[in-house]
Amino acid sequence: MPVSITTARRAREFAAREELIIREARKFLLERGFQGWNMEDLAQAVEYSKGTLYQHFDSKEDLALAVCTGSLQQRADLFERASNFKGGTRERIRAICCACCEFATAHPEYFHADMMLKSASFWDKASEERREDHRIQAGRCWRTIQQIIIEAQAVGDLPRDRFKPEEATFALVSVTVGSHIMAMEGDMRVMAGITDPLIAVRRNGDLMCDGLGWKPLSFEADYAETDRRIVREVFPGATWLKSA
Amino acid sequence: MPVSITTARRAREFAAREELIIREARKFLLERGFQGWNMEDLAQAVEYSKGTLYQHFDSKEDLALAVCTGSLQQRADLFERASNFKGGTRERIRAICCACCEFATAHPEYFHADMMLKSASFWDKASEERREDHRIQAGRCWRTIQQIIIEAQAVGDLPRDRFKPEEATFALVSVTVGSHIMAMEGDMRVMAGITDPLIAVRRNGDLMCDGLGWKPLSFEADYAETDRRIVREVFPGATWLKSA
DNA sequence: TTGGAATTTGACCATTGGTCAAAAATGGCT
DNA sequence: AGCCATTTTTGACCAATGGTCAAATTCCAA
């Protein structure tokens, strides 16, 4: 069978529709949680039938994973953009933290949804292809941080003898994700006296960098100007930069 | 109606059955995830009918919350026990980290389940009474850490001018929970080169304490003996203490 | 032993994730 | 334009499951 002239257009339309479905599902996931909506609702929202949805996704879980991976891809994009910030290694890791804030603003649904995915019986129900996609994007985020750390150790901003690069990366990733999740919760915000979650996330990142011995330490330098520069040069129009 | 002589026994039996249901549900939650089992399965496992389960819990979500709160209560118990460890403030916060390890060993299902609970449409489906229980136990965990931090600032082990106690508490809680969640995931362990998740969790806790400026810093002192003492005096029989 | 109260049960209902045969749309060909 | 093979879309339908409640069963004081 010859490749029709319409094949390319069809593929484009198919991809566009998939994007539409994912976008709408992301809204649902944020506003109502995984269990708060059903495929029929979603079909109605995107103005296609349920059967059509299942041409794109193996299951509701598969769709949820696609939503997460889409968000994660943007996270990786933001990370990579941030890592190109012109400055010292500590300033660049700070830019990564800012990327996190930018990301959290655009994708507030991500952290909860991604946590859910990892639980037993959820991950299994998604297709292997989408699982692989997710791994790839997660890997991009990881590597971006890891590279800055390796560079920091090379130039002497970060101790070389206390930990391996991947240990430092793991520490930073853990504190960042943990902070986002915790800061998102109402009770926690009350107990911690948090008025702005994103400031709390950045502060925790700072503290961890200090703990790693990443120079110049946050309380020995004034990073206020760096922050303004990051916003200006990397994330113009950002709304999350407020004085602590 | 007079209070029968059997009332007390009935109440005891009712409570015992509730414990049984929660225990069994915890197993299911760990092995199969929230969606991997149904109320009929569970009814069969505890040898009661589905209707009886619903005398104890408003919904499946309500039950899941009860499971989490039960685990969280044990977490708080372990924290309080750890905080009584005889030693400096930094050693005591180290004991709390050890309590986390002890907890994670006994309740590997907790972190994922609790994350899920916090998502929209989940929390709402549980009864207000159980939500309040959960808040109480979470508060106990929080306060235990907070008190050690306040004491550390009072005796001068921890800086007083860089942060408020609740900010430090939030940082420690975030890194601990974040580390547990991250270390639990297979891909992450591969990337981070983690062989023992609990060692990674403790190391991250150490790094955060260092970042807070909590003396004596982890790389300036040898805590190996402290760790052994913690295990001996607070968590005899613990299996998670291995040399890094 | 008995009668009424408390408890337990599982048939039943409504919702929803997922399937698939039929209907509709598409597009190349004459 | 008209035709028909192929592709795409649809929604009736199915099975699974969370949740209900009237009937059955158990309990216990008199």
Cβ distance A210 to B211 less than 8 Å, yes or no, reads: yes
Of A139, A174, A193, the CB nearest to B166: A193
Query: What pLDDT was estimated at residue B242?
Result: 81
Both tokens assigned to B133: 């229980």
What is the average pLDDT across A59-67? 98
pLDDT band at B118 (very low <50, low <70, confident <90, very high): confident
Both tokens assigned to A164: 């391996």
Q: Is the pLDDT of residue A4 over 60?
A: no
Q: Does domain B63-233 have CATH number 3.90.79.10?
A: no
Say what angle helices B128-155 and B165-183 make with each other, to 10 degrees: 120
Cα–Cα distance list, A49 to A12, A61, A126, B192, B206 (Å): 19, 18, 21, 43, 53
The domain defined by B7-56 folds into Arc Repressor Mutant, subunit A (1.10.10)
Contacts of A139 in chain B (CB under 8 A): 191
Cβ distance B166 to A191 less than 8 Å, yes or no, reads: yes
pLDDT band at B4 (very low <50, low <70, confident <90, very high): low
Residue B210 touches partner A, C-beta closer than 8 Å: yes
Residue A222 touches partner B, C-beta closer than 8 Å: no
CATH code of domain A70-109+120-233: 1.10.357.10
Contacts of B132 in chain A (CB under 8 A): none
Instruction: In whole angstroms, give the CA distance from residue B98 to residue B104.
Output: 10
What is the per-residue pLDDT across A168-223, written as a single tens digit (0 to 9) for each?
999 999 999 999 999 999 999 999 999 999 999 999 999 999 999 999 999 999 99
What is the average pLDDT across B204-216? 97
Is strand D within 7 Å of residue B61 (CB)?
A: yes
pLDDT band at B10 (very low <50, low <70, confident <90, very high): confident
Query: What pLDDT was estimated at residue A121?
Result: 85
- In angstroms, what separates the C-alpha of B39 from chain A's closest C-alpha? 16
Which nucleotide does the CA of B6 lie closest to, via C1'? D28
Cβ distance A181 to B179 less than 8 Å, yes or no, reads: no
Query: What pLDDT was estimated at residue A2?
Result: 42
Is strand C within 7 Å of residue B3 (CB)?
A: no
What is the average pLDDT across B211-222? 94
Cβ distance B31 to A120 less than 8 Å, yes or no, reads: yes
Domain spans of chain B? Answer: 7-56, 63-233
What is the per-residue pLDDT across B57-106, written as a single tens digit (0 to 9) for each?
999 999 999 999 999 999 999 999 999 999 999 999 999 999 999 999 99
Range 40-79 of A in CB contact (< 8 A) with B = none
Compute and round to an integer the Cα radius of gyration of chain A.
20
Query: What pLDDT was estimated at residue B87?
Result: 95
